[in-house]
Chain A
Amino acid sequence: MTETELNELRGLNVGRAVISDSGYQATSLALSMYRLAQWLRSPRPYLMLIGFAGFLGFWYLSVEVWKLPRFAEMPGPTQVLREWFSTDPTYGLSIFVEEYYLHIWVSTRRIAIAFFLATAIGVPLGLFLGCCQSFKKNAFPVFELLRPVPPLAWVPLAIVMFRGSETPVIFLTFLASFYATALNTMLGVESIDVSYVRAASCLGAKRWQVFRHVIVPGALPFIFTGLQISVGVAWFSLVAGEMVSGQYGLGYVINTSYTMVRYPTIIIGMVTLGIVGYVTSAAIHFLGDYMMQWRTRELALGGDR
């Protein structure tokens, strides 16, 4: 019997065939490249292109060819693209205009600040809620009551509470993110199998060591799910906030373009939001993969957990 067969019998190479052949250890970069190559080889990217083509085709046909009555005021895709990539845009906003990037920058900065605050407060609070049952009994009902209040309902109070145009918007953006992060972190702590905590205490870990080596890493998958949701709702309430107050930002662009009848610019704002929103969400996903190698490997290799 060969060494390979023997190892197979011992179950030593289960799930390691691809990456760690000959003892080579996968780095996160190698793993990402591997997954990218797999993705390009699968039919998924091409199906995705068909999806986009179908969407654009429908838009083009209904607005510019058939001129359906409902779409009378809608700008068509060629008009939007021409405006978007024009060096001299009719309505003042294209990729060659400095102001366009200022709007993106202002929105992204607000998201970054709000998201950072929401994570910095939400994760520790969630961990504490999950660990300390008596604190949870006090604080959680309040939390549950405030959570369903939509960020839009906070607009008047936010404007009254905070001066200027910047802080109310950041506050609104923060709010939705914070709930998503804190709640998911708490659920993450509660999802941890009690065996892990017991095993750690058997092995001699003190309370804070259990916290650091079991509670935090054990809750991490849920925390990152929370952060994904958090960044999504952050964009949602950011646009709502920017429509109400502020002088810059993509939400502001969409709203003022509407009042000033610059319809193609509305679409440019929307598409830009889509792209920037997707990039932030992908960045969180990537960070999660990087910080949870164990999970990435299990999933990538079809581990049996």
Chain B
Amino acid sequence: MSVQPLPAAGPARMPSAHLAVQTPAVRKGGVRIVDAVKIYGAQDAGILAVDHCTFDVPPGEITVIVGPSGCGKTTLLNAIAGFHSLSSGSIHLDDEMLCGRGKLKAEPGPDRIVVFQNGALFPWKTNIDNIAFGPIMQGRMSRAEAYDKARDMMADAGLRGIEQNYPGEISSGVRRRVEIVRALMNNPKILLLDEPYRALDSLTKSVMHEALLEIFYKNRVTIFFITHDLEEAIFLGHRVVIMTTRPCKPKKILDIDIPHPRDYSVLTTKRFREFMDETAAAVHEEAIKAFAAGEKER
């Protein structure tokens, strides 16, 4: 199969110009969660999903949240993204209050972009239409500018040749990469990834991890990553936050001092095993609690 050459773009096109812009002098995208509480249903009779949760997501780093399925991690992510309100507490992004006293629901916006568990590329738009969607909707770029930038970014991410294909025509691994490029098009301060690799097989997953790190090293965008896979968490994260099961609050916060850039050889190092040993028991304990709670509900 021959790869289609890029159609000539406008004369003023400077390759990779956006990369230079995106290397910030001051790192941005730090999130501070203070005393966050979320109760579903009535205040007194509802279900406590998030219980006085306080931690920081350092700017320019990868923070991974680990916890059993259904523990309330996604609730926290939804509060940051602005899909749900908090019951009390506050969330700040850099110096800006997203939600807190008097305004318990944040507004969704292009500074915090979510990559969804099952993927949310619009199947009715071609890959390039998907990627150019954000800036056009925000009125930040003209159509021509947006498509030029989208084409550059796709080429940069090794996605050349599938611009005019629909998401349904490419493999699920490539779809995730397109979705991350769609997010990066908007120069977000933080990427919120909600178990994005859950549905992938473990081999594809390992390729995706390295691809994600590569994107991170290039863009230095803050990443908030939710998973239930401890190995994935330690491999990717600067910081790993282990959550208790419902209600969700940090049980253990670890700073992973394995130096970046990392690749798959890290998995066999002694330091990596030490982190696994240190955390496996804590995660397992929560998994058992979650399992028992699930049994009771049924």
Question: A residues within 8 Å of B by Cβ?
Answer: 3-4, 7, 10-16, 20-23, 25, 193, 195-196, 198-206, 209, 213-214, 217-218, 220, 292-295, 297-298, 301, 303-305
Residue with the highest number of chain B CB atoms closer than 10 Å, among A11, A25, A293: A11
18 A-B residue pairs with CB within 8 Å: A3-B3, A7-B3, A12-B161, A12-B170, A13-B1, A14-B174, A21-B1, A23-B3, A193-B120, A195-B116, A195-B117, A199-B116, A199-B122, A200-B133, A202-B108, A202-B113, A203-B110, A295-B123
What size tier do the contact residues of chain B reach? 35 or more
Interface bits B144-167 vs A (CB < 8 Å: 1, else 0)? 000000000000001101101111
* Smallest CB gap from A14: residue in B: B171
Given the known inter-chain contacts A11-B174, A12-B174, A196-B120, please indicate yes or no for A204 contacting B110, CB distance below 8 A.
Answer: yes
* Contacts known (A11-B171, A294-B124, A294-B166); A204 close to B1, Cβ less than 8 A: no
With contacts A199-B116, A202-B110, A202-B113 taken as known, whether A217 is within 8 angstroms of B173 at the C-beta atoms is no
With known contacts A11-B173, A23-B2, A204-B110, A305–B168 Cβ distance under 8 A = yes
Chain A residues near B123 (CB-CB < 8 A): 294-295, 298, 305
List chain A residues, Cβ under 8 A from B81: 198, 202
In chain B, what residue has the closest Cβ to A204?
A: B138
Grouping DSSP codes into helix (H, G, I), strand (E, B) and loop, the B interface class, with mixed when no group exceeds half, is loop
Tell me if B186 is interfacial: C-beta within 8 Å of chain A: yes
Partner of A25, one of B108, B164, B186: B164
Q: A121: shortest Cβ distance to chain B, in Å?
A: 24
The listed residue (A3, A205, A298) touching B169 by CB distance below 8 A is A298
Q: Told that A3-B3, A293-B166, A295-B124 touch, could you supply 19 new A-B pairs with CB distance under 8 A? A: A3-B2, A11-B171, A12-B161, A12-B170, A13-B1, A23-B3, A23-B161, A195-B120, A198-B81, A198-B114, A199-B122, A202-B108, A202-B110, A202-B114, A203-B134, A294-B167, A298-B166, A303-B169, A304-B168
B112 contact set on A, CB distance < 8 A: 202
B-chain residues with CB within 8 Å of residue A11 when the two chains form the complex: 170-171, 173-174
For A305, the chain B residues whose CB sits under 8 A away are: 123, 168
Given that A12-B161, A21-B1 are contacting pairs, would A213 and B109 also be in contact in the complex, using a CB cutoff of 8 Å?
A: no
Q: Known: A14-B170, A204-B134, A209-B137. Is A198-B83 also a contact (CB below 8 A)?
A: yes
The CA of A196 and the CA of B120, in the complex, are separated in Å by 5
| Inter-subunit contact B174/A10 (CB<8 Å) | yes
B268 at the interface (CB under 8 A from A): no
- C-alpha gap A220/B158 in the complex (Å): 32
Which residues of A sit under 8 angstroms from B170, Cβ to Cβ? 11-12, 14-15
Q: Which B residues contact A (CB, under 8 angstroms)?
A: 1-4, 81-83, 108-110, 112-114, 116-120, 122-126, 133-134, 137-138, 140, 158-159, 161-162, 164-174, 182, 186
Whether B109 lies near A202 (C-beta < 8 A) is yes
Q: Whole-angstrom distance between the alpha carbons of A206 and B167 in the complex?
A: 23
A16 partner, pick from B2, B108, B109, B169, beta carbons under 8 A: B169
Q: Which residues of the partner chain A approach B171 to less than 8 Å between Cβ atoms?
A: 11, 14, 304
Assuming the contacts A7-B1, A203-B137, A218-B124, asked whether A198 and B169 have C-beta atoms less than 8 A apart, the reply is no
A10: chain B residues at CB < 8 Å are: 158, 174
| Pairwise interchain contact A201-B174, C-beta atoms closer than 8 A | no
Contacts A4-B1, A7-B1, A14-B171; A297 near B122 (Cβ below 8 A): no
Q: How far is the CA of A303 from the CA of B161 in the complex (A)?
A: 18
Chain B CB count within 10 A is highest, among A12, A25, A214, for A12
A225: min CB distance to chain B, Å: 16
Q: Are B124 and A217 in contact (CB under 8 A)?
A: yes
Give the shortest distance, in Å, between A115 (CB) and chain B (any CB). Answer: 24
With known contacts A4-B1, A202-B114, A203-B113, A12–B162 Cβ distance under 8 A = yes
Provide the residues of chain B in CB contact with A199, threshold 8 Å. Answer: 114, 116, 120, 122
